[in-house]
Amino acid sequence: MFYLFKIFLLGLLFFISCSSTIKKDYMGKKLTKLQHEVTQNCGTEPPFNNEYWDNKEEGLYVDITDGTPLFCSKHKYDSGTGWPSFYEVINNESFEMHKDNKLGYERNEIKSSKSKSHLGHVFNDGPKDKTGLRYCINSASLKFIPLSELEQEGYKKYLKLFK
């Protein structure tokens, strides 16, 4: 009987440790509740009340979970939506598109191809003189690396985007 109890406890501990694992960002810190909800459960943060919607500093926006470079500040614009919006990506291969009908109409969900983290949605109402696309992205899925820190953070090869 005691043997069965030990097996039960070990199984329970294994289940708890596996199910309560919080994904960490690429820097080894635990994701906040909001970052986890957005990136792992396809959540959405509030408009106009998020970290990067009005950030005008030059730099890179990378995946909060694995550090993959996603967007350059040169391609960011004010879409009036309250979320960071970009008309271009750094590398198309860094993204996956999925159909999303959760709101009763079809949208294109965008995920990071490496981490599979939810980033936001892509719409066809972006600047017509650029790509015509609007990548509407949750700040909670991003980490901003200022231009002045790109080299020390390991993103030296992306400095060319700012010339």
- Tell me the catalytic residues: 136
- Contact indicator for 63, 117 with CB cutoff of 8 Å: yes
- Phi/psi zone of residue 33: left (φ > 0), alpha (ψ -120 to 50 degrees), beta? alpha
Phi, psi of 63 (to 5 degrees): -60, 125
CA angle 72, 65, 110 (to 5 degrees): 60
